[in-house]
Amino acid sequence: MEVMKFGGTSVGTPQRMKEVSELITRSGKPTFVVLSAMSGTTNTLIEIADYLYKKNPEGANEVINNLERKYLGHLDELYSTEEYKQKTKDFILEECNYLRSFTKDLFTSFEEKAIVAQGEFISTNMVVNYLLEKGIKAVLLNSLDFMRTDKNAEPDLQFIRTKLNAVLAENSGYQIYIAQGFVCKNAYDEIDNLQRGGSDYTASLVGAAINAEEIQIWTDIDGMHNNDPRVVDNTEAVRQLNFEEASELAYFGAKILHPTCVQPAKYSGIPVRLKNTMEPDAEGTIINNELVRGKIKAVAAKDKITAIKIKSSRMLGASGFLRKVFEIFESYQTPIDMITTSEVGVSMTIESVTHLEEIVTELKKYGTVTVDSDMCIICVVGDLDWNNIGFETIATDAMKNIPVRMISYGGSNYNISFLIKESDKKAALQSLSNQLFKH
Ligand code: ASP
Ligand code: MG
């Protein structure tokens, strides 16, 4: 079976829901479908919870009324029969009354989680009813019956596997299985979720649990591009990425999946394919365990980076120096992204500058500190095993006219990163594209 996951914008309007229904049924093969809430809904549910935390039930009710009106307004466009309009209307009214029931009681994070889960319940109900109206053999599963996190709030794959396979065995013979993304139960049997954007994680876990042939993540872009299309002309979709290469790129927000989210698929060896709902026949990007030797796959950049250098002769031959430096960043919960060292100095980059001043003040105890703002990390991803010769030189050669502040290579077999000025980003990305992807 294949798993197909559609995000909020892909089910964002009745028209888009119809398109999704077309996509999931066209192969005619049994398919497991994971859906997000309609776009904007989870934010609205969080807003409702926020009013309730602030003990403002009128505020919450107003938002619920608007949400109800909006959803009821979709029915005429989505369904053609009175029966299904009524059926779905009843469900939406029931859902909204459920949301209203929270305005009367004590409000805690437990109630909040129950509220934010409802967007996925509504969207999956709407789509399954649409399929049933069309006479398709579809069944709606309840993710709360099988999606579960353990005491560390990590997904419990063993539990998910056992439960989900039992649920599927009870519901055999359907063409389409639909389930809610994002929602789960926790180790205490309470309603919980896999964090914002967690529907991708649901799809990966479901795929691993049922040993799917492929996990498809459908969005509005044609997979992952080999360079930033907003900056560089003529970028191309990357056909294939290794899971490790995909993890390197994830930091760059390259509209790619979060590394933890693809973990279950990676360990189970199930390919993840990024597909475009606007161009369903395009191949998209496949992420799997295959490593294409000697190939640079993509370039990505991240702006608004700050570099901090600490130079100290005390670092020479001293043990524990780096630990002290890192502890300062840790105590301000500021992640370090890139590091380079020399015998008497270390340079690091950070993204969040909330505690920059405090960090710099503390670092000054250990050496001379310099800060460079408005920097940009350029990351080149592909087979960059150190035994290969020539690749790092092609990348550095592309930077020959650009002042480079830091170079990081050898941290993994898949990456070389450069730190440059933000103002040089376009030139650097263009030059890398010319050098690496010229045909
Ligand atoms: N609906 C949830 C969110 O907006 C989960 C998801 O879409 O992946 O974060
Ligand atoms: Mg998403």
Q: Rounded CA gap, 5 and 24, in Å? A: 10
Cα–Cα distances in Å, from 147 out to 157, 199, 214, 296, 423? 8, 11, 19, 37, 46
Confidence (pLDDT) at 320: 87
Kindly state if the Cβ of 198 falls inside 6 Å of ligand 1. Answer: yes
Q: Mean pLDDT, to the nearest integer, of 6-25?
A: 97
The residue whose CA has the least distance to atom 6 of ligand 1 is: 197
Q: Rounded CA gap, 336 and 334, in Å? A: 7
Q: Rounded CA gap, 334 and 356, in Å? A: 9
Confidence (pLDDT) at 319: 84
Cα–Cα distances in Å, from 380 out to 225, 383, 403, 433? 13, 10, 17, 10
pLDDT-wise least confident of 207-216, 240-249, 413-422, 425-434:
240-249
Q: Is the pLDDT of residue 145 over 70?
A: yes
Candidates 34, 43, 196: which one to mutate for ligand 1, based on the most atoms within 8 Å of Cβ?
Answer: 196
Residue-wise DSSP of 72-124: HTTHHHH-SSHHHHHHHHHHHHHHHHHHHHTTSS---HHHHHHHHTHHHHHHH
CB 307 within 8 A of CB 347: yes
Cα–Cα distances in Å, from 413 out to 142, 334, 404, 405, 417? 41, 26, 21, 22, 12
Which ligand sits closest to the CA of 40? Answer: 1
CA of 244 to the centre of ligand 2 (A): 21
Confidence (pLDDT) at 253: 67
Cα–Cα distances in Å, from 12 out to 7, 275, 388? 8, 17, 46
Candidates 35, 36, 112, 123: which one to mutate for ligand 1, based on the most atoms within 8 Å of Cβ?
Answer: 36
The minimum-distance atom of ligand 1 relative to the CA of 195 is 9
Confidence (pLDDT) at 259: 80
Q: Is the pLDDT of residue 31 over 80?
A: yes
State the pLDDT confidence band at 315, using cuts at 50, 70 and 90. confident
Burial 10-29 (b: 16+ CB within 10 A, else e): bbbebebbebbbebbbeeee
Cα–Cα distances in Å, from 9 out to 12, 26, 46, 148, 258? 4, 20, 18, 26, 18
The residue whose CA has the least distance to atom 5 of ligand 1 is: 197
CA of 256 to the centre of ligand 1 (A): 15
Candidates 42, 123, 218, 261: which one to mutate for ligand 1, based on the most atoms within 8 Å of Cβ?
Answer: 42
Kindly state if the Cβ of 55 falls inside 6 Å of ligand 1. Answer: no
Q: Is the pLDDT of residue 261 over 90?
A: no
Q: Mean pLDDT, to the nearest integer, of 273-299?
A: 92
State the pLDDT confidence band at 254, using cuts at 50, 70 and 90. low
Q: 3-state class of 148 per DSSP? A: strand
Confidence (pLDDT) at 255: 59
Supply the pTM of this predicted model.
Answer: 0.88
Confidence (pLDDT) at 256: 66
The minimum-distance atom of ligand 1 relative to the CA of 43 is 4
Confidence (pLDDT) at 313: 81
387 CB-near residues (< 8 Å, 6+ apart): none
CA of 163 to the centre of ligand 1 (A): 23
CA of 224 to the centre of ligand 2 (A): 15
Q: Mean pLDDT, to the nearest integer, of 186-203?
A: 95
CA of 144 to the centre of ligand 1 (A): 16
Confidence (pLDDT) at 343: 87
- State the burial class of residue 393 (Cβ atoms within 10 Å of its Cβ: 0-12, 13-18, 19+): exposed
345-386 pLDDT, tens digit per residue, is 999 999 999 999 999 999 999 999 999 999 999 999 999 999
Ramachandran area for residue 290 (φ above 0: left; ψ -120 to 50: alpha; else beta) = beta
Average pLDDT, the chain: 94
Cα–Cα distances in Å, from 191 out to 74, 187, 375, 431? 27, 10, 42, 50
Kindly state if the Cβ of 37 falls inside 6 Å of ligand 1. Answer: yes
Q: Mean pLDDT, to the nearest integer, of 261-285?
A: 92
